[in-house]
Chains A and B, each alone.
Chain A
Amino acid sequence: MDHLIQLILDGLFVGSFYALVALGYSMVYGIIKLLNFAHGDIYMLGAFAGFTVLSVGAGALGGGFLALIVIMALAMVGTGAFGVVLERVAYRPLRNAPRLSVLITAVGASFALEYGIAVTFGPNPQVYPIGVSGGALGIAGARITYAQLAMMAIAVVLMVALDALVRKTRAGRAMRAISLDPKACLLMGVNVDRVISRTFFLGSALAGAAGVMAGAYYGKIDFLMGFVIGLKAFTAAVIGGIGNLRGAVLGAIVLGLLESFGVAFLGSQWRDVFAFGFLILFLTVRPTGLLGERVTERV
């Protein structure tokens, strides 16, 4: 029983930062129908941005909870801005190009980011100077640290804020409308390019936050850490229904729990096999995901 609760807690924690990455994946897919393979690397960039801030300002920030918030905020601004630049430089010039061209560009952007960081910070893993050790909360024998709880709370706040923005505001309405019919949006006076830029900012900022969370949780970061998480986020987005934001969160939590239980029963070497097995299962059995609706292609 203790074991079970621990598995659920671990699954929820991992799921919460998968969700942050999956949201950006799903938002970008929703708005420009691009599988942004560089999205996982934005998450990696967030981890390194946090690492840089910590290395430079460790003394001033201390190692507490407040430091984590400041670092996350700075990493989010950094990765958000980077996402905007990436879209402007790599994707916008291809707006009317075949989708495959943009997809290949995204893979190229992914490699450029990974090896750019490898050149800058070196290929070896870096030890994250802030961790999630320290005080922990015991729930019926299971254990979760306060820092983990805090990070989950931040993730939940970010997700709720994003959901409200997309559902209730003028900007969110424009995002949803662009995902349905970008040309009609032009006729409503929507500056489509600007809305797409904002979408990249938001999605990349969430990935940046997740990068800092992952750095603090796993304790070390490296230039390839975004590769697998990018695929996991894609899996989560597919499980939930790609393009559907609540679906992305649901898919991420489901994936986090599946992994947590899969690892417990099969061993950690099976973690990724298990996750991607589910991707294949969903693509075969229910390609529209848990919350996705069947979309008929317009002619």
Chain B
Amino acid sequence: MSTVLDLKGVEVCYGRVEALRGLDLTVGEREIVALLGNNGAGKSTTVSTISGVVRSRAGSITAFGDDITSATPWSIVERGILHVPEGRRIFSRLTVHENLQLGGYTVRDNAVIDKRINEVYELFPRMAERRGQQGGTLSGGEQQMLAIGRAMVAGPRLIMLDEPSMGLAPLVVAQVMEAIVAINQAGASVLLIEQNARAALKVAHRGYVLDSGRVTVTGPADELRADPQVVEAYLGA
């Protein structure tokens, strides 16, 4: 399996606070990798650094063979690396359809955008029903579907989801996880950030546990599920 994303010794600081202290992480082709850890462990910082919104102080990030350590956020999206942010960040006063169209901003061909939007509508029929509604009027679960759909329109090769299950009812969490698996089966690699370790390890192939900006445990998902340290800290007894 070839590596699509490779972080080596990435360090990030917010002023004097060190958020990442030499992070090493890889994502393989068509792999779902879970990134677990408590609040403040550096999970969100990791994806924001990959997507170019936050700058690293040291280390390197390689994606699909190119060094993207200091690439602009839009050039990273153009490479098919999509970041579905924490809190969804739906454009509240744009309609569902316009939100999806904006997801295809880097795609120049309107026919491709329309085709992908239809695929999103097939995956999430609720979005098709609400296409003319403003994004801000959707429920939390619907907003999460829209946020994932918006990334799908860009044609992701690697999709990074930051806490997609946050604040959602268990039934909706299951739907979102199903969608993630579907996107993965369609060919995209996935980096999944979750506090809900149980849900994440159910769909992931591999996982990393982050603590204070460093990887403390890593391995295949089944091993992590059995790891006493992980069980105690993140899965409950």
Contact = CB atoms under 8 A, between A and B. Distances in A.
Interface of A: 170, 173-174, 176-177, 180-181, 183-191
Interface in B73-106: 73-74, 76-78, 82-85, 89, 91-94, 98, 101-103, 105-106
A239 to B, nearest CB: 21
Given A177-B91, A181-B89, A186 B73 contact: yes
A188 B94 contact: no
Given A186-B74, A187-B77, A180 B101 contact: no
Interface of B: 51-53, 72-74, 76-78, 82-85, 89, 91-94, 98, 101-103, 105-106, 150, 154
B93 A170 contact: no
Contact of A183 (B74, B76, B84, B89): B89
A159 B183 CA distance: 43
Contact of A180 (B76, B93, B103): B93
Given A173-B98, A176-B93, A180-B92, A188 B85 contact: no
29 contacts: A170-B105, A173-B98, A173-B101, A174-B105, A176-B93, A177-B102, A180-B91, A181-B89, A183-B53, A184-B85, A184-B89, A186-B51, A186-B52, A186-B73, A186-B74, A187-B51, A187-B53, A187-B73, A187-B85, A188-B102, A188-B103, A188-B106, A189-B73, A189-B74, A189-B76, A189-B106, A189-B154, A190-B74, A190-B102
B154 A188 contact: yes
A170 B153 CA distance: 14
A183 B86 CA distance: 12
B77 A189 contact: yes
A180 B85 contact: no
Contacts of A186: 51-53, 73-74
A177 B91 CA distance: 6
Contacts of A191: 72, 74
Contacts of A174: 102, 105
B83 A189 contact: no
Task: Pick the most buried of A185, A188, A190: most chain B CB atoms within 10 A of its CB.
Answer: A188
A247 to B, nearest CB: 14
A64 B205 CA distance: 74
Nearest to B110: A170
Contacts of A173: 94, 98, 101-102
Contacts of B89: 181, 183-184, 187
A250 B85 CA distance: 37
Contact of B77 (A176, A180, A188): A188
A77 B131 CA distance: 38
Contacts of B154: 188-189
Contacts of A184: 85, 89, 91
A177 B90 CA distance: 9
B61 to A, nearest CB: 16
Contact of A176 (B72, B83, B94): B94
Contact of A188 (B52, B72, B93, B150): B150
Contacts of B82: 187
Given A173-B101, A177-B91, A187-B89, 16 more contacts: A176-B93, A176-B94, A180-B91, A181-B89, A183-B53, A184-B89, A184-B91, A185-B102, A186-B73, A187-B83, A187-B84, A187-B85, A188-B103, A188-B105, A189-B76, A189-B106
